[in-house]
Each structure stands twice: as structure tokens, then as C-alpha cells.
């Protein structure tokens, strides 16, 4: 793990491993630390529980048929625990395309819940013989994952990434977008499967978008539950075939009813294979996404689908994708993303820190984000941040 502190202006073309500090104050001036995913893994996803334990999953193996692994890092320790495989069927996870890999959520008591999809090697198959929507949870002892399950009973035709969220009261939510009543991305549906008992049993999935506008087939989506219990779904719709706008749905009754709609427009006649991010800190909920080769974040008004004016990543960049936003309890925000990545091609990472007033404070970049990978991160108790790639 490296702590990087150098004073220079932000340069989008720089590829040296550097963090660039300005004189604007942060509460702890601890900066950003970079950490490689354990065991040479890719597509890390991290979450921190109420005790300060860092939970992390990552992918290993053949991109079309590999495995997900889970590790923990206890407070005050630098190393992670011995890896535990998440998927019970070997080779039933997928990394190809970046946005179809595992997502992680922490529920009641810090239990880890993981969802992933579109592995053609997985059994049983999904509806219509396609890829399943897979889910697994950490067992009661916390030392292994229970057998993976397919939650797609009727909503098939999966392509882009499924997502998972959980709350402190034992509710677990797995969402994905699926084929509609007729073929075509403009007919695709956003569906949700719910559990009220820590993931032991799930209700049959159902369509939830109040005003269906399709869904971009090979884009990911992201679910999130805030501290007040509101459930958010962020995804790219596909109205008219070329209107691939970002949409935000919110439920204030634990996934019963949703409202919301478009929050950022983008007209493009192709699938951008984009991903999204959520965080919650001292300043509330923040969401991040990609539009037209640029990445943005915005504050979300609590319990609503209303967002502030989006903030773009600073400077000029090449093909910015896979945004990550992490907030601290003190109200500071780390915004990070990948530049220059593409199909079967890695890229570089860049980040910008913002102080509690929203002013840019620290920025930097690093080389060598692996092929098919992206970023994750978390806030440290001392006020600094960790980026894992």
C-alpha cells in the first residue's frame, strides 16, 4: 500500500503513479492510498461494516468462466484474510465486458451478500436457457458461502450486470434488467427480487419501473439502500433505441413501489457498457455514472429521485468510464474513474478529492488497471481514502 503526496497541477495525460496535493484543507490530509486487489484479482468490490471491517470480493480465472473470492480486513490490520470462494459451482462467474461481474452488499450483522450474472457455464440455466441471475450469501458462521442460487424464475434474457443491496433489518434486494414482452432493448424491464429474512428466501421477481423506458442491454445497474431505508436503482434506459439516458428509481417502502425517471440525458446509437456507483457519508447519498465519455457525480435528495446538478470529472480525459464515488463521515468525497479502457484492454485510473465544502482538494492518477477491471474504494477512520484496483 502506498501513500502518495506530491504538489503538481492536474495533468490528464500523466501516467506516473502520483497523488497531487493542493493547499485546500481536508480534515486529516491523509490523502489517497492505492492498493492492488488481492492475489492478482480483478473487478474488486468493497464495503465496510459498522465495526469497521472491510469486506472485499474479486474475480480470478478465465474471464468467461472464472470464480469470485471473498476476503475481510479487520480494523487496525493491513492484510486481508484467507480467500473464500463465493460461487459454489467452479467457473460460474464471468468478467468479460467488465460490467457483468460480482456486486457486494452488507446486510444485518455485516453479513455479505453477492450477486452476479450471465455466466454461460452456470447451472441451472436462466429462463429460456439463457444466463441465470446468481446470488450467494455468507453462512451464519461467517466462514463460507452457501450454495449459489438462480433468482430469475421468469425474467430472462440477461446481458448487463445484475445488482444487490441490503439493509440493517435483514432485507436483501437483487435487481436486474430482462427481456420484455417482445424483443428489443426498448422493451426491456427492470425487475426486483426481495428477501425479508437475510436472503434465506426470495419473493418471485417482478417488474418495478413505474414508467418503463427500456434498458440498455449490456450496461450495468446499481442498487443501494441508505441509512433511512430508502432503496435506489440506477441504470441506463433505452427509449427509442438511441436515447440511453441515466435513470434513477427510488422506493420508500422497501421495494414495494418506485418512482423516478431520467436524471441525465445521452443520445447514442450504441451500447456504452457503462457502470455506476453509490455512496453515503456525512453529506448524504451521492451517485456516479458515465455520459458521453465523461463521468459525473451528483448528490441525491434523501428518499427521492432528485439529484443536484451533476459534477464532471476535472480536466480532459480519454474515454472515461467506471466511476467510483466514496464519501467520508466528515463529508469529504473521493471521485475516481478509469481512462482509456475498452474491449479486452485495460487503462489507467484517476481521482479527485473534494473537501467538505465541495471544493477540489487533491487529485492524481496511476497506471495499469488490468483488462476487464475497474475500481473500488472505502474511507478510512482517520479521514483518508483507499482505492483498490
Residue 254 — very low, low, confident or very high, per pLDDT cuts 50/70/90? Answer: very high
Residue 157 — very low, low, confident or very high, per pLDDT cuts 50/70/90? Answer: very high
CA-to-CA distance for 104 and 126, rounded, in angstroms? 21
- How large a percentage of the chain has pLDDT more than 70? 92
The answer, as to whether pTM is greater than 0.85, is yes
C-alpha cell at 325: 464515488
Locate all alpha helices (DSSP H) within 186-269, ordered by sequence.
none
pLDDT of residue 27: 39
Answer for the pair 72, 49: CB distance below 8 angstroms, yes or no. Answer: no
Answer for the pair 130, 189: CB distance below 8 angstroms, yes or no. Answer: no
* Pairing mode, strands 385-388 and 32-35: parallel
Answer for the pair 187, 155: CB distance below 8 angstroms, yes or no. Answer: no
- Smallest CA-to-CA distance from 122 within 111, 112, 113, 133 is with 133
Residue 118 — very low, low, confident or very high, per pLDDT cuts 50/70/90? Answer: confident
At residue 187, the 3 state secondary structure works out as: helix
Model confidence pLDDT, tens digit, residues 298-351: 999 999 999 999 999 998 877 999 999 999 999 999 999 999 999 999 999 999
367: left (phi over 0), alpha (psi -120 to 50) or beta: beta
pLDDT of residue 124: 86
Residue 24 — very low, low, confident or very high, per pLDDT cuts 50/70/90? Answer: very low
Q: Is the pLDDT at 239 greater than 80, yes or no?
A: yes
List strands edge to edge, sheet with 376-379. Answer: 2-3, 32-35, 385-388, 376-379
Query: Cis ω on the peptide bond leading into residue 124 (within 30° of 0)?
Result: yes
pLDDT of residue 220: 96
**Domains along the sequence of the chain with CATH:** 2-388 (2.120.10.10)
CA-to-CA distance for 235 and 190, rounded, in angstroms? 9
Task: Compute the mean pLDDT over every residue in the chain, rounded to the nearest whole number.
Answer: 91
Q: Is the pLDDT at 144 greater than 50, yes or no?
A: yes
Average pLDDT of 229-235?
Answer: 98
C-alpha cell at 359: 471544493
At residue 108, the 3 state secondary structure works out as: helix
pLDDT of residue 109: 97
Q: Is the pLDDT at 23 greater than 50, yes or no?
A: no
C-alpha cell at 259: 418512482
CA-to-CA distance for 61 and 90, rounded, in angstroms? 10
Q: How many CB atoms lie within 10 A of CB 154?
A: 12
CA-to-CA distance for 210 and 28, rounded, in angstroms? 44
Q: Is the pLDDT at 270 greater than 60, yes or no?
A: yes
pLDDT of residue 260: 97
CA-to-CA distance for 57 and 375, rounded, in angstroms? 12
pLDDT of residue 347: 95
Residue 336 — φ and ψ, nearest 5°?
A: -135, 160
Answer for the pair 268, 259: CB distance below 8 angstroms, yes or no. Answer: no
CA-to-CA distance for 72 and 105, rounded, in angstroms? 13
CA-to-CA distance for 70 and 104, rounded, in angstroms? 10
pLDDT of residue 317: 75
- Smallest CA-to-CA distance from 25 within 353, 378, 314, 324 is with 353
Answer for the pair 31, 382: CB distance below 8 angstroms, yes or no. Answer: no
Amino acid at each position: 500500500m502506498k501513500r502518495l503526496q506530491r504538489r503538481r497541477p492536474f495533468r490528464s495525460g500523466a501516467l506516473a503513479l502520483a497523488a497531487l496535493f493542493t493547499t485546500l484543507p481536508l480534515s486529516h490530509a491523509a490523502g489517497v492510498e492505492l492498493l492492488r486487489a488481492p492475489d492478482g484479482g480483478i473487478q474488486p468490490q468493497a464495503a465496510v461494516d459498522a465495526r469497521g471491517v472491510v469486506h472485499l470480493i474479486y474475480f480470478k480465472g478465465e474471464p468467461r468462466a472464472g470464480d469470485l473470492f471473498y476476503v475481510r480486513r479487520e480494523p487496525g490490520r493491513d492484510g486481508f484474510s484467507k480467500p473464500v470462494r463465493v460461487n459454489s459451482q467452479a467457473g460460474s462467474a464471468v468478467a468479460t465486458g467488465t460490467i457483468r461481474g460480482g456486486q457486494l452488499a452488507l446486510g444485518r450483522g455485516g453479513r455479505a451478500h453477492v450477486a452476479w450474472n450471465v455466466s454461460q457455464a452456470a447451472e441451472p440455466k436462466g429462463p429460456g436457457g439463457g444466463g441465470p441471475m446468481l446470488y450467494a450469501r455468507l453462512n451464519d458462521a461467517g466462514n463460507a458461502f452457501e450454495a449459489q442460487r438462480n433468482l430469475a424464475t421468469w425474467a430472462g434474457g440477461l446481458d448487463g450486470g445484475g445488482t444487490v443491496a441490503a439493509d440493517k433489518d435483514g432485507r436483501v434486494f437483487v435487481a436486474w434488467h430482462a427481456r420484455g414482452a417482445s424483443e428489443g432493448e426498448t422493451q426491456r424491464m427492470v425487475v426486483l427480487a426481495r428477501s425479508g429474512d437475510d436472503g434465506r428466501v426470495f419473493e418471485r421477481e417482478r417488474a418495478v419501473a413505474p414508467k418503463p423506458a427500456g434498458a440498455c442491454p449490456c450496461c450495468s445497474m446499481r442498487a443501494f439502500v441508505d441509512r433511512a431505508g430508502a432503496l435506489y436503482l440506477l441504470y441506463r434506459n433505452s427509449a427509442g433505441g438511441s436515447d440511453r439516458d441515466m435513470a434513477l428509481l427510488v422506493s420508500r417502502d422497501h421495494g414495494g413501489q418506485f418512482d423516478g425517471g431520467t436524471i441525465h440525458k445521452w443520445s447514442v446509437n450504441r451500447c456504452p457498457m457503462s457502470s455506476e456507483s453509490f455512496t453515503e457519508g456525512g453529506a448524504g447519498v451521492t451517485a456516479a455514472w458515465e455520459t458521453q465519455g465523461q463521468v459525473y457525480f451528483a448528490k441525491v435528495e434523501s428518499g427521492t429521485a432528485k439529484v443536484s446538478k451533476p459534477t464532471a470529472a476535472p480536466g480532459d480525459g480519454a474515454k472515461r468510464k467506471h466511476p467510483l464515488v466514496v464519501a467520508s463521515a466528515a463529508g469529504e468525497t473521493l471521485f475516481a474513474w478509469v481512462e482509456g479502457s475498452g474491449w479486452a484492454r485495460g487503462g489507467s485510473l484517476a481521482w479527485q478529492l473534494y473537501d467538505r465544502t465541495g471544493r477540489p482538494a487533491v487529485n492524481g492518477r496511476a497506471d495499469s488497471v488490468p483488462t476487464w477491471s475497474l475500481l473500488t474504494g472505502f474511507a478510512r477512520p482517520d479521514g483518508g481514502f483507499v482505492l483498490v484496483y
